[in-house]
Structure formats: structure tokens, C-alpha cells
Amino acid sequence: MKMTGAQIICEGLVKEGVEVIFGFPGGAVLPLYDTLARYPQLRHILVRHEQGAAHAADSYARATGKVGVCIATSGPGATNLVTGIANAHLDSSPVVAITGQVARPFIGKDAFQEVDISGITLPITKHNYLVLDVGSLAKIVKEAFYLARTGRPGPILIDVPRDVFIEQTEFNYPSQVDLPGYKPTLQGHPAQIKKAAKLINEAQRPLIIGGRGIIISGAYAELKQLAETAQIPVITTLLGIGCFPESHILSFGMLGMHGMAYANMAVAAADVIIAIGMRFDDRATGKVSEFAPHASIIHIDIDPAEIGKNVPVVVPIVGDAKLVLNALNKLIISTEHIDWFQQLEGWRREHPSTAIRDCEGLLPQLVIRKIYEVTQGEAIIVTGVGQNQMWAAQHYCYDKPNSLISSGGLGTMGFELPAAIGAKVGCPDTTVWCIAGDGGFQMTIQELATIVQEKLAVKIAIINNAYLGMVRQWQELFYGRRYVATPLSSPDFVKIAEAYGIPGLRVRHKEEVVPAIEQAMAERGPFLIDFVVEPEENVYPMVVPGAALTEVLEAPKKEAKAVSDSAKLPVSNI
């Protein structure tokens, strides 16, 4: 059967199980949009900016485990995807981006809305294609989805000239891919797994660092078995949050620049570290030369390029986290580390990193904690970047995988609102809270229209401190309180929400917080709350850039009076 290039793409999307596409039309992709009308099984969501399409597809992929799909036209449409593609690349999200391109005779001639988007995105995609022959299109679509979802997931870009969308060819969709140079290693090397087991069984102060790779591979049960069998405390990276239940007695929170002080101390004191599906990025390690000085490090990762890249490793294991842990668990003996746990619990008592001080004003930490209490942890939290992101990571308890969706590696302001759309589309029966800063929220505020158009019951909490908060915090601590370009004049967010047809409230006082959250939860559609919080509240703990993890700044002593337990949240027994 002969089909046009546009039909081939739609047929390929259907065969790959795609149900949702996020996009914005334009001249170069009009043939594809015209064809989409014949495929009602492909739900298209019109965003208000192409960056929103990429972020929504990214978040949809994280929330569902499926491949997210976004579409943009040539030129500025394609370049508007770049930030979202880079975000998906650094956070290992499976996304297929389809862009239009000028017709083949005009490529390289600076035609209207022509950019070399395959060249631009070469460093930020797992792979990309410029389709010059419609006969290769079906094979390319099949390969794109295979590459996006296998091995270490990542974004794939398919750039399609306008005339390729229109040209016809025989349609034969491949049943499998043939990529001789692409063979992800899934099973860990048995000898390396034996070495790791020996180190773990002999360790006196073992520690697990869980990263996003655990979530991607679905290795939750295997991780829990390892931790419980060998009685190993578990800490996580920012994107690893949710890979291990945070209410578990073995959970000791997040490490890194704004991680728990006691988690960072555990890294410094450990004699064996089992790092699983994480990159040892600078925000997690602090000063690399002083990271885990007493530990033999076991690093399990599906991407061999990550092993040894930043931190020396004693036992490298390349493979899928779920399969490697399954093999490793067979060699682990039941152990107790009573002295080690007593030490960690002592540090947790002495350094109450998640205590919320008593304050007359409204503290952002309290807002996050109350959202947790009202939702009882049964929500997906999607955050922006900066202070709101760190408070959301610290003060909500994540017991389920994929319950925190955030921009990690790229740190993208404006991620939160379109990402909340993607999460809600992917998980319509789950409560989704968008935690936003007043600065980042305004970068993609136009996606409120998408929320209304699609009737998405996203709940929005703006942490409004009238500053670009994290930058202001750095200016306070390191630049003599010279607040240059960080004081923020914002619009009336409640009126803006109402203009889009979304009900909203402004909250200034502690006693108003819970009733407002409950009202938002009771609303069947979207709801926005503008929380006007203390303007110069800082995120603590904090490790100064370039410092060791143990050189942690904690909340000033005058702020030590707490209104909550020093531990993050009550823990359960094993």
C-alpha cells in the first residue's frame, strides 16, 4: 500500500502505542497536521509554546514510562523545542520530537524558517535524523522509538522536509530494528557482581545512593530487598527521590548541595557505597576530591560512559539496574550494622535538616508540608527550579516512584506548568500539584490556556516571595546582599488565573494554608493558590559550590526552634 510520508508517521505512531502528542502547527508541518485528522486515536494537545510541548512530552514519559511525543514546525518552532530536548537529554527521558523542515530543494539556501535543527540538537539528543528519502521514513520512526526507550533513555529528533510529508512510497513498517552498533548491556558481568557482593557483605558502614536509573528500570523491589537484607541505609539523588520509600526506616533522604546534612555526613563516613543509576554530578558530590574519602565505590549504571567519569570507582558494573540487583541480591547475606545506624540516627537528631521553625510569617516549607498532609502523599508533585524545587524535595514525603517530577540536570525554569500538564494527561486519575516559583511560573504561564482547553484538573501552588529566590539567596550569601535583577514585580496571579477561567486564592497567613489546599482539592477542575511567603527565606542545608559535602551551611541557630519533628517524617518499621 502506498502512503504519504505524513501517513507513514501517523501509522508508525499508532504501531508504537502512542496515544498523545503535544505540539504546535506551522507551515512546514501542515501536511502532517492535515493527516492527523484521519487518526482520532492520536490525541493532539495544542500547547501555547513549543517549549511547553517538549516539557509536557518529557513529563508524560516520566509519569507513564511510555515515550513522549512532541511536534513543531521548522525554524523558530524547532528551536523553541531545544530547551525541552536538552532537559530530556540530561534527565534521560524517552522523547521523540518530530520537526518540520523546508522542502529538500531549499535546504542550505537560507529559505524562510530554515534552521539546521539536526545540527543544533546533535549534542543534546541520543540520536537524530534528517529524512531525505521517504522510503526510509518507516524504518526511521521504528528506530527512533527503539532508541528512545532502550538502554539509557533519551530524546530522538526526526526532522522531516515538507515535501517528504507529501511524497508517497510503499508502506512497510519493520517488525524489528537492525542496529549493529547499538547493543546496550543489560546483564552485569558476573565477576564484577561477585566483587560487589563481597565488598557489601564485608562492609561495616555501607551506604546506597539511589538515582533515577532505579526508577527508569523499575528496580524498586530489588533495591528494597538489597537494603533490607544487608541493612543498608539508603539516600537518593534529587531525581532518585521516590526510588525507595522515604517513610522507610532505612531512608535517610537526599544528598548533595541542598540534601540532608546527615545524608552528606553518611557519604563522608561510609566505607562502601553502592551507587545505582546516578551520574555523580556536581550538585550531588560537592568537591569531587573529597567525596566519600573512606569508601570503596560500586557503581551500577546502564551507560558505561558515566562510570568513572566524575568519581573513581572500585567495582564498575555496566547493566540494567533491575537485572544487576536481581543477580546481586542472590549473593548478599543478611547483616546488621547497629553501630552504623546509631551513628546516623545521632546525626539526624543533631542536624534536624527538615525542621520547620516557628515564624509569624508564612514559610514556604510549611506550605509544602501541608500539601503533603492534605494529599497524604497520594499525589504527583511537579516542580520548577530553585528554592521551590528544593523545598518540595525536602518537605514532601515520596513513597512512590515517579511521584516527584522535576528538572534535574538542566535546571529549567518554566518546566513546572507544562510538565504538570504532561503528568496529568498521562495519569488522569492521580492528583497532580504544580509547585512553582513566581519567577519560573511566568516563563510558561501561557500554558494555563492549555490546561483550560484540555480540562485538566492541575492544582497550582505558587511560592511567591517576590524574588528570583535562589539567585537572591546566592546574592545574600556570596555577593554582600547586592540584589541585582532579582527583586521581582509580578502580576496578580489570581486575576490572571480567573482571566483564563481558573479559580484561585491568595494566601498570606498560616491558618489559611490548609483550608486553601482543601478547597483546591475539592475543585473538580484546575485551581491556583498564590502563597505569599517570607521574601528572604533561604533553603537550608546548603553546601557552598566547591566545598565538600561535610562543609554544610545549616539554618542559623536563631531559627532552630522547630514546630515539626527533626526527622523528615515518621518512619515505618521494616
pLDDT 10s digits, 246-291? 999 999 999 999 999 999 999 999 999 999 999 999 999 999 999 9
d(CA 431, CA 258): 26
Nearest alpha carbon to residue 59 among 320, 385, 283, 383: 383
- Edge-to-edge strands, sheet with 315-318: 251-254, 234-236, 206-210, 272-276, 296-301, 315-318
364-539 and 2-170 share a CATH fold = yes
Q: Is the pLDDT of residue 570 over 70?
A: no
Q: Is the pLDDT of residue 557 over 80?
A: no
Q: Is the pLDDT of residue 563 over 90?
A: no
Global pTM value = 0.96
Q: Is the pLDDT of residue 571 over 50?
A: no
Q: Does residue 525 contact residue 516 with C-beta atoms inside 8 Å?
A: no
Would you call the peptide bond into 541 cis, given omega within 30 degrees of 0 as the criterion?
yes
Q: Is the pLDDT of residue 560 over 60?
A: no
Domain at 364-539, CATH from 3.40.80.10, 3.20.20.70, 3.40.50.970, 3.90.580.10:
3.40.50.970
pLDDT in tens, 419-478: 999 999 999 999 999 999 999 999 999 999 999 999 999 999 999 999 999 999 999 999
Nine cell digits for residue 127: 540520536
Query: Looking at the domain 190-350, which fold is it?
Result: Rossmann fold (3.40.50)
Q: How confident is the model at residue 182 (pLDDT cuts 50, 70, 90)?
A: very high
- Which class does domain 2-170 fall in? alpha beta
Q: Is the pLDDT of residue 307 over 70?
A: yes
Burial label, 309 (beta-carbon count in 10 A; 0-12, 13-18, 19+): middle
Residues 6+ apart with CB under 8 A from 316: 192, 299, 304, 307, 308
- Mean pLDDT of the 19-25 span: 98
How is the chain split into domains, by residue range?
A: 2-170, 190-350, 364-539
Q: How far, in whole angstroms, is CA 56 from its chain's centroid?
A: 12
- Mean pLDDT of the 145-168 span: 98
Average pLDDT score over the chain = 96
pLDDT recorded at residue 562: 43
What DSSP state is assigned to residue 534? Answer: -
pLDDT recorded at residue 535: 98
Q: Is the pLDDT of residue 568 over 70?
A: no
pLDDT in tens, 223-253: 999 999 999 999 999 999 999 999 999 999 9
d(CA 53, CA 47): 6
- Mean pLDDT of the 135-150 span: 98
Q: How far is CA 36 from CA 52, 80, 454, in A?
A: 20, 22, 18
pLDDT recorded at residue 556: 87
Q: What percent of the chain has pLDDT over 90?
A: 96
pLDDT recorded at residue 558: 54
- Mean pLDDT of the 554-563 span: 62
Amino acid of residue 382: V
